Amino acid sequence: MKKSNLIKIIFLNLFFLTSLFASFETDIEALKTKSFKKKQQVINELVEKYSDDERTETLLKKMVDGDLFYTKKEGTFVILEKKEGSTYHTKTFLEGKVLEPQNKKEFNKVKTNNGLRSVIKSNLAQMNLFSKKKEVRLKSAKNILSNVDEDSKELINKALSKEKDSDVKEVLLEAKTIILAKYSSGEEQLQAVKDLSDFISSDTLATLKNLYSKEDISSELKKAVKSSISTVETIRSYYGVLEKAFFGLSMGSVLLLAAIGLAITFGVMKVINMAHGEMMMIGAYTTYTLQQVMPGLIEYSILVAIPAAFIVSGIVGIIIERLVIRHLYGRPLETLLATFGISLILQQIVRTIYSPLNQEVKTPDWMSGAWEINSALSLTYNRLYIIIFALLVFIGVLMVLNKTSLGLKVRAVTQNRQMAQAMGIKTSWIDAMTFGIGSGIAGIAGVALSQLTNVGPNLGQAYIVDSFMVVVFGGVGNLWGTLIGAITLGEINKFIEPVAGAVLAKVIILVFIILFIQKKPRGLFPQKGRDAQD
């Protein structure tokens, strides 16, 4: 055998062994080249070989963002975390090890240009669109739908031929139909416009309206576009009503949580408690405090905050009842003034401890996001959980009042205080416990509110008037009346607000309550018993 042939065989064997043991770690070394053409080839090979490797997606994203570097000495790939002047804070790309801050002169950047970034973005879209995970494919399909262009047609057709999930196929089909409606002509375009009436996303509606605004389209196409727009808008309006009803239900749930405790205390003790809103504020600040104490356990902080807020607000309520309110029974106007003063004191205490600025309570991941029913209707998880939670609290209070010894005594005191006292029930103890339970439930309402708005000293003031309206509308001391009253007022408010505005909506509801009380002074479900005659 000739020497040259032997060298070729050895070289080919070495090349085969090198390729056999090639890995992601060794393949990305080629990105250190200065040639953009070579980098493009390397990226295409990486996507082809390691599309299922999460590191590939991270690498490409960091290249697009301009955050991928490698050290001059060791040649280690690093990700830029932040920079302070000429100092770079980095971590290794492969191991995720945080490095000591170094001068930017110690690094070389993996540079990109517009052409290379376009190739990377195209590869990222393709990787995600053919991922094994449905969530990744669906997100990629929606991204294509939001940024649809004629160049995506081939990729969409390829994805449609392989996709088996109906949800992903629906989004891809909509994107394909939009492309045909925008960029095709003749019968194909006309049919695409007609087909778009089957989709109800905002992207479809925007495409149709854009087509309708053009002057150079045929009368037949314009007529088809108008018909499709009408169909899409009609369907979206139906889902818009459902969305408003959902928001009204969530607002009603918050009012229910706020009013349950007030209904109990107002029904049993005839106390106009203007500090009830501050019990909600205390519950919200309890949630905030727990998140500051246990920052690494945000996912569980809300679950811990529910019993904690109930206990803290309940104890504060009992203290207020024992120190102030028990001396004012039978004098409702004086209780109103006293509790109003207490509310101002509690607000000032909170301002002193936490500052007058609003505080943000973080939402756990399991409460974030939305349940997307379709492209026109999505229900946010935090409001959905609050609705469920409010119903559970309502059922729990109902069970306590109807199935326990404490509940029996509370109902006895509510219906006839003198007779209950004659039967040996310690009405003063029942008053304290009832006020504590009512305040504790208000604290729970504060936990729910912390997930919808920022926590501040004036948090409870926004809901105290609405809570009283719910109680009066439903019937003092009646939980079923409180439930129906809260949901009714929540729904009315959400349907009137977009038309009349937030302030006028409140005025309209207040007028409605006044007119209603003229006809039914005792509310929807009036109290029964001798005490109801007072």
Q: pLDDT by residue (tens digit) across 36-56?
A: 888 888 888 887 787 777 788
Are 391 and 479 in contact by the 8 Å Cβ rule? The answer is no
* Nearest CA among 393, 394, 423, 427 for reference residue 410: 427
Which helix (H) or strand (E) element contains residue 374? strand 370-374
Amino acid 45: pLDDT: 82
211-248 burial: b if 16+ Cβ within 10 Å, else e: bbeeeebeeebeebbeebbebbeebbeebeeebeebbb
Residue appearing with tokens 């006020």: 435
What is the residue type of 349?
A: I
- Confidence check: pLDDT of 394 > 80: yes
Quick one: pLDDT at residue 4?
55
pLDDT for the residue numbered 267: 65
Q: Containing H/E element for 514?
A: helix 502-519
Token duo for residue 154: 């081939």
Global confidence as pTM: 0.73
pLDDT in tens, 290-343: 988 887 778 888 889 999 999 999 999 999 988 988 888 778 788 888 888 999
Confidence of residue 6 (pLDDT cuts 50, 70, 90): low
CB within 8 Å of 250: residues ≥ 6 apart:
383, 384, 386, 387, 490
pLDDT at residue 337, rounded to an integer:
87
Find where tokens 């003790």 sit: 269
The more confident residue out of 399 and 534 is: 399
**Which residues make beta-bridge pairs with 516?**
none
Give the per-residue pLDDT at 2. Answer: 52
pLDDT for the residue 22: 55
> How many Å apart are CA 476 and CA 264, to the nearest integer?
8
**In whole angstroms, what is the distance from residue 338 CA to residue 327 CA?**
11
Least confident of 128-132, 218-222, 317-321, 390-394: 128-132
Alpha helix stretches (DSSP H) within 131-275: 134-146, 153-162, 166-183, 186-195, 202-212, 219-269
Residues 504 and 499: their CA atoms lie apart, in Å, by 9
Domain ranges in the chain are 26-116, 130-217, 250-361+379-499
Q: Reduce the DSSP state of residue 455 to 3 states and report it.
A: strand
Q: Residue 231: its pLDDT value, please? A: 92
Q: Quickly state the pLDDT bin for 530 (edges 50, 70, 90).
A: very low
- Lowest-confidence pick of 11-20, 178-187, 426-435, 494-503: 11-20
Per-residue DSSP letters for 82-123?
A: EEETTEEEEEETTT-PBPPPEEGGGEEE----HHHHHHHHHH
Residue pair 368/384 in contact by the 8 Å Cβ criterion? no
Confidence of residue 478 (pLDDT cuts 50, 70, 90): confident
Q: What's residue 418's pLDDT? A: 79
Residue 172 CB burial class (10 angstroms; 0-12, 13-18, ≥19): buried
